[in-house]
Amino acid sequence: MNPLTWKREHQLALLLAIALGALLGLLVGINEVSGPHAFRWGALWCERTARGANANCTYLLTGYGLLVFTWVITGALVAATMIYIRQLLRA
């Protein structure tokens, strides 16, 4: 059951489903991930407050984009899997 041997319209339906799943994953990811400072690694520098605590830190890497991208990939995979299963049931 190779998608490369499917009819042209079924291949386009698969690509459209992947695109819509990725878009839905993007929207869900933006809403679900808890802001750009959800995961922080490698503080480059921090400004000290009057009490000596760290504030306004600049980090080398934040995981916001990676977490949102994970949602995008998950949405695309779920949509592609649904279309693939539908094609398996038709055959």
Q: pLDDT grade, residue 41 (50/70/90)? A: low
Query: Residue 1 falls within a domain, yes or no?
Result: no
Residue 6 carries which DSSP code? S
Range(s) of the domain holding residue 81: 7-90
Query: Residue 75 falls within a domain, yes or no?
Result: yes
Average pLDDT over residues 10-26: 95
Average pLDDT over residues 56-69: 76
**Residues present in the chain in total:** 91
Domain count, the chain: 1
Query: Residue 65 falls within a domain, yes or no?
Result: yes
Query: Residue 64 falls within a domain, yes or no?
Result: yes
Best CA proximity match to 67, nearest among 24, 21, 31: 31
Q: pLDDT grade, residue 32 (50/70/90)? A: confident
Give the predicted TM-score (pTM) of the model. Answer: 0.71
Q: Which tokens sit at 21?
A: 């799943």
